[in-house]
Amino acid sequence: MSALGLYEPLVKWGGAGATIPISGFGHVLAQRTLEAVRSKGLLGAFSGGVAAGAAGVAASVVFGFCMAVLFKPKG
């Protein structure tokens, strides 16, 4: 949907509901990759998505670790 320009209007209309982790993550990757390609050329196709997803992945790892330290998992 991002490639066809259909996801951005959905995000504006739906707000936070349209930026849930799975579909929102794909949209962020697509948008940042396109921006990076415009500014850096072909190299941006490889670096744009990585830079866009880095903050979300890092936050997931940090918060997951914190929860594992604070709470005893049932197993």
pLDDT score, position 22: 63
Residue 18 covered by a domain = yes
Domain membership of residue 1 (yes or no) is no
Cα torsion 38, 42, 48, 51: sign: negative
Distance in angstroms (rounded) separating the CA atoms of residues 37 and 39: 5
Give the number of other CB atoms < 10 A from CB of residue 44. Answer: 18
pLDDT of 9 over the 70 cut: yes
Domain count, the chain: 1
DSSP 72: P
Examine residue 2 and state whether it is found in any structural domain, yes or no.
no
In this structure, is residue 75 part of a structural domain?
A: no
Residue 31, in any domain of the structure: yes
Question: In residues, how long is the chain?
Answer: 75
42 or 75: which carries more pLDDT confidence?
Answer: 42
pLDDT range class, residue 6, cuts 50, 70, 90: confident
In a domain, 39, yes or no: yes
Helix (H) or strand (E) holding 32: helix 21-40
Whether residue 29 is predicted with pLDDT greater than 80 in this model: the reply is no
In a domain, 17, yes or no: yes
Residue 16 domain boundaries: 7-70
Q: How do residues 34-58 score in pLDDT, each as one tens digit?
A: 888 899 888 888 887 777 777 777 8
Question: Does the residue 37 lie in any domain?
Answer: yes
